[in-house]
Amino acid sequence: MKLITEMTEDIQLLAELNEKTGEKDYYIEGIFMQSNQKNRNGRLYPESVLMNEVKRYNKEYVEKNRAMGELNHPQGPTVNLDRVSHIIKELKQQGDDVYGKAKIMDTPMGKIAKNLIDEGAKLGVSSRGMGSLKQNKEGVNEVQKDFMLAAVDIVADPSAPNAFVNGIMEGAEWVWDNGILKEKHIAEYQKEIERTNKKDLEEKMLSVFTDFISKI
């Protein structure tokens, strides 16, 4: 599985007066994700893949007040609580789009996001998930059924190419370990298998698999 990130600028930044507290509540809302069209990263999310995952994420995270995101992308697929800036309150399908609304929290990173909004900064959102890719007949990288949404983050400049995310983070392989995602460098295993002759291939594959399992 690879870390997959997608950015969108089609959102609104809102500051609404909370009548109970007399203070402003800050929200971001708009299109958080899109299906059935090739995005700027050259990837396509089939509607069934994306919307099924949105349903799961809603049930396991949004409805349980666990759908938190960070200010800027971290260096991995997990959500770091010390960098949380907002929590998604609504995530739903609108045609091929996924509309979302998130409340900016009163955390250290949330306060930075609020200040950026007050100063008129241009912000966007970027989804972060895990999944595999496969080229379709048109040569477009299509996200597969194993896609899992990890978070939707706030990014300061969604129009800028995120070379670190695309070049480094997406080049890593990740696996599940008791509900926790861990990075695994599988290049050495691949080299071992490639160097093995056909006669000993089955035994070598078993050996590699056993070694892999022992390190998880």
Q: Model confidence over 29-38: pLDDT tens digits?
A: 999 999 998 8
* Residue 214 appears among annotated catalytic residues: no
- Beta bridge mates, 88: 102
Quick one: residue 186, left, alpha or beta (phi over 0 = left, psi -120 to 50 = alpha)?
alpha
Using alpha carbons, select from 166, 185, 184, 167 the residue that is nearest to residue 175.
Answer: 184
Structure-block tokens of residue 194 = 């490639």
Angle ∠(124,129,135) on CA atoms, nearest 5: 105
Q: Domain coordinates of the chain in residue numbers? A: 2-160, 185-215
* Distance in angstroms (rounded) separating the CA atoms of residues 46 and 36: 5
Q: Which member of 73, 85, 86, 127 is catalytic? A: 73
Summarize pLDDT for 127-163 with one digit per residue, the tens.
Answer: 999 889 999 888 889 999 999 999 999 987 544 333 2
Task: Choose, from 35, 85, 126, 127, the residue flagged as catalytic.
Answer: 126
Which pLDDT belongs to residue 209?
A: 55
Q: Does residue 185 carry a catalytic annotation?
A: no
Cα(209)–Cα(93) distance, integer angstroms: 40
The answer to whether the pTM exceeds 0.85 is no
pLDDT per residue as tens, the chain (216 positions) = 677 777 777 778 888 888 888 888 999 999 999 999 888 888 899 999 999 999 999 999 999 999 999 998 777 788 999 999 999 999 999 999 999 999 999 999 999 988 888 888 778 888 999 889 999 888 889 999 999 999 999 987 544 333 223 323 344 555 555 555 455 545 565 666 677 776 776 666 666 655 654 554
